[in-house]
């Protein structure tokens, strides 16, 4: 699992530093991404060690379209699995997806719930979004 992730992150860094783009990856680099996703999917579905991390990684890949076609619904599916296991970054990302209507119908109540769960674990961006949304909430007097 870690080896596949390390090789994926090398490619991700190249894209982040503008050395290449996701669209212009070589066949070998695309094969690395396919292999990483296969390892992550097997780990995610098997459960046990690293399963929620693999689920989160798959959510990121699908939500960003990194080496695959962007698929928000698939991202929500993987984030939800990880979030239910307590993975706070998945909880935060689910809050964003519900807030923005990405892969799901927009739902601020569900977004608030996920932000609250992540914030309770110490996720600072979730706390910020939660406070920001609560300030504009029509429920406050």
Task: Take residue 23 and report the two structure tokens written for it.
Answer: 């669209």
CB 88 within 8 A of CB 95: no
Mind listing the pLDDT tens digit of every residue in the chain (141 residues)?
788 888 777 877 777 776 667 777 788 888 888 888 888 899 999 887 779 999 999 999 999 888 788 999 999 999 999 999 999 999 999 999 999 999 999 999 999 999 999 999 999 999 999 999 988 766 554
Contacts for 30 with CB less than 8 Å, ≥ 6 apart:
67
At 137 the pLDDT is 60
**Which pTM was predicted?**
0.83
Return the domain boundaries, the chain.
1-71, 86-141
Question: Which pLDDT belongs to residue 59?
Answer: 95
Burial level of 81, CB count in 10 A (0-12/13-18/19+)? buried
């Amino acid at each position: 699992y870690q080896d596949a992730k390390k090789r994926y992150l090398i490619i991700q860094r190249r894209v982040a530093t503008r050395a290449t783009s996701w669209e212009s990856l070589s066949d070998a680099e695309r094969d690395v991404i396919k292999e990483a996703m296969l390892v992550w999917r097997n780990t995610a579905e098997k459960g046990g060690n690293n399963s929620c991390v693999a689920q989160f990684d798959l959510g990121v890949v699908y939500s960003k379209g990194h080496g695959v076609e962007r698929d928000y619904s698939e991202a929500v599916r993987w984030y939800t699995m990880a979030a239910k296991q307590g993975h706070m970054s998945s909880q935060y990302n689910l809050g964003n997806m519900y807030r923005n209507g990405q892969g799901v119908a927009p739902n601020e109540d569900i977004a608030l719930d996920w932000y609250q769960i992540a914030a309770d674990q110490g996720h600072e961006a979730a706390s910020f979004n939660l406070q920001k949304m609560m300030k504009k909430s029509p429920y406050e007097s």
